[in-house]
Amino acid sequence: MKASRRKFLKTGTLAIAGATLYKSELFNFMKKEELLGLQLYSVRDDMKKDPLSTLKQLAEMGYKNVEHANYIDRKFYGWTAKEFKKILKDLGMKMPSGHTGLSKAHWDESKKDFTDKWKWTVEDAAEMGQQIVISPSMDKTIYQTEDDLKQFMDIFNKSGELCKKAGMKFGYHNHDFEFGNKLGDKTVYEIILANTDPHLVIQQLDTGNLYHTGARAQDLLKKYPGRYKSMHVKDEIKVEKGESGSNYESAVLGTGVVNIKEVLGLARSTGGTTHFIIEQESYQDKTPLAAMKEDLAIMKSWGY
């Protein structure tokens, strides 16, 4: 009995140690998959004036990843995909995602295919090394009726298939109208989530845009587990008149009402989030670049 017990204890200890090691390795792998970045719309005026200098300052702060908000005539901030990729590489930066709106004009109904303009969007994103092509918001004509919206969600899924062929994901970024508008008894957002294939279309949850509508990021992360590969990390403060005509505007992380630390914890545990993209659109008494420096320091102090 004693020998058998010793053998059991030895085997059991090894099993526990192995399980602990496996869990540790799995956690480390998950941590490695995560990335922290900045949506360049946060410094939009600086990017208009001097994009190269702005990128250099962001790199010096410690930003390693950026997300674009400017793609016009096959150029990012005035540079081709190859040129912009080199600029970022020389600064020790990458662009894992970017915002380019998918509209009705990008789909040729007669050919049942995307126009060259959207195909180029995907091609240039792949050249940049993006993991996700994200469409931010949508035109009002798309969600006039539930059937209209469902039909366009089919195009979203097709865009997901196109991006998949290029080794990427397609995604959608919410604003506020998705929660403030209903078609029948469902919100626009509920219809979007119900009619997009999660294997083809990921959601980029903006934690601040929805706040003034009464929707909460925490509730969405619980309701739609695993749907949020990407997140716009944004805090909000109450003001007399803020963004989008609401009584809220974005502010330095941790200073507002969003309870952003709780949101981030849920994003990691249930949301399936690996891309944590800082965005701040209002700055109170700070310059945009000074605010970005503070945001990055706060995220790093929280373990991101």
Q: Are residues 5 and 48 in the same domain?
A: no
Report yes or no: 303 and 31 within 8 Å, Cβ to Cβ: no
**Average pLDDT for 232-239:** 97
Q: Are residues 87 and 181 in the same domain?
A: yes
Q: For 4-19, how does the pLDDT look when each residue is reduced to its tens digit (9 = 90+)?
A: 444 444 444 444 444 4
Q: For 189-232, how does the pLDDT look when each residue is reduced to its tens digit (9 = 90+)?
A: 999 999 999 999 999 999 999 999 999 999 999 999 999 999 99
Share of the chain above pLDDT 70, in %: 88
Report yes or no: 249 and 236 within 8 Å, Cβ to Cβ: yes
pLDDT at residue 245, rounded to an integer: 72
Structure tokens belonging to residue 143: 């969600």
Q: Are residues 200 and 107 in the same domain?
A: yes
Q: For 250-299, how does the pLDDT look when each residue is reduced to its tens digit (9 = 90+)?
A: 999 999 999 999 999 999 999 999 999 999 999 999 999 999 999 999 99
Supply the range of the domain harboring residue 73: 35-301
Model pTM above 0.75: yes
pLDDT(171) > 80 = yes
Q: Are residues 22 and 8 in the same domain?
A: yes
pLDDT at residue 66, rounded to an integer: 98
In sequence order, which residues have a C-beta less than 8 Å from that of residue 212 and are 6 or more positions away? 176, 236, 244, 246, 247, 248
Q: Are residues 22 and 81 in the same domain?
A: no
Report yes or no: 102 and 156 within 8 Å, Cβ to Cβ: yes
Please give the tally of structural domains in the chain: 2
Q: Are residues 16 and 81 in the same domain?
A: no
